[in-house]
Amino acid sequence: MVIRAFDECMLENGGINFAKTMVQSDVAIDGMILNYAAYFCPDEKRIENLAGFILSQTKPDGGYSWDTDGSTSDPHTTICVLEGFHEYKEAWFKKHAKRIENSEKRAVEYFLSNDLFQNEDKRFLKLSYPYRYRYDFLRLLEYLATEKAIYDQRLQRALVWLSDKRKESGLWHLENIHKGNVHFNFEETRQPSRFITLKALFILQHFSDITSN
């Protein structure tokens, strides 16, 4: 399916457009495709073209947006792109390496300088899975831990938030499921979550040197 997406839906500029009525691609979807494609098809050279197109869509504030005509970013698109860049690097693609490194730094600063968008949407402070295309605290923290990011004081509230979500059982519960078609639900809300518990333990282990203070 990854190869089919490139064969049938790749535009001349390197973006992927599944919607035939649209002239431009959606950068959030491009970031997600970059993630999947680099993981499943690391020998597919057209992935480099996709990465190059995404880089060309960087906004002045350092992030990314689905709105190609706008001048500001949105957190949903930006986190999708960051995850795509991570998998691109994991697949050992070298083209655009320096530009991606610079873009990642700017995109992370975009989140930190905007206080992680904690007051933008109450769903950002809920434990959700699957993520779909949506941003939240857990997803950003997981990305940073996966990238082995250093601690920044501006992450402290999010780390405390995650620690406080832990139940007396030692587990974390699923709080929200984003709407959308599924073949089946992995877990039920308000119940212990294997996925979120694993993610939370991974995050807190990475930042353990500061969360214990």
Q: Give the model confidence (pLDDT) of 146-198 as tens digits.
A: 999 999 999 999 999 999 999 999 999 999 999 999 898 889 999 999 999 99
Same domain, yes or no, for 142 and 178?
A: yes
Answer with the one of 113, 144, 173 that is the final residue of a domain.
113
pLDDT for 125 equals: 96
Average pLDDT taken over every residue of the chain: 94
Same domain, yes or no, for 80 and 140?
A: no
Name the pLDDT band for 21 (thresholds 50, 70, 90): confident
Same domain, yes or no, for 95 and 74?
A: yes
pTM of the complete model: 0.93
pLDDT for 24 equals: 81
CA dist., res. 119 & res. 192, Å (int): 26
| CATH code of the domain covering residue 69 | 1.50.10.20
pLDDT for 210 equals: 54
Average pLDDT over residues 37-57: 97
pLDDT for 212 equals: 54
Same domain, yes or no, for 123 and 189?
A: yes
Residue with tokens 């930006």: 78
Same domain, yes or no, for 93 and 132?
A: no
Residue with tokens 């691609």: 25
Same domain, yes or no, for 165 and 89?
A: no
Contacts of 154 (CB under 8 A, 6+ apart): 112, 115, 116
Asked if 63 and 78 touch (Cβ cutoff 8 Å), the reply is yes
Same domain, yes or no, for 131 and 192?
A: yes
pLDDT for 209 equals: 61
pLDDT at 15 over 90: yes
Same domain, yes or no, for 143 and 188?
A: yes
Contacts of 107 (CB under 8 A, 6+ apart): 62, 63, 64, 78, 81, 82
pLDDT for 2 equals: 92
- Domain of 56 in residue numbering reads as 1-113
Same domain, yes or no, for 107 and 122?
A: no
- What are φ and ψ of residue 102, in 5° steps? -65, -40
Q: Give pLDDT tens digits for 88-106.
A: 999 999 999 999 999 999 9
**pLDDT above 90 coverage of the chain, percent:** 90
Q: Give pLDDT tens digits for 54-72.
A: 999 999 999 999 998 999 9
CA dist., res. 33 & res. 5, Å (int): 9
Answer with the one of 80, 113, 146 that is the final residue of a domain.
113
Same domain, yes or no, for 92 and 179?
A: no
Same domain, yes or no, for 61 and 126?
A: no
Same domain, yes or no, for 75 and 140?
A: no
CA dist., res. 201 & res. 207, Å (int): 10
Domain total of the chain: 2
The amino acid at 129: Y
Answer with the one of 65, 85, 113 that is the final residue of a domain.
113
Name the pLDDT band for 23 (thresholds 50, 70, 90): confident
Question: 14-18, 79-83, 190-194, 205-209: lowest mean pLDDT where?
Answer: 205-209
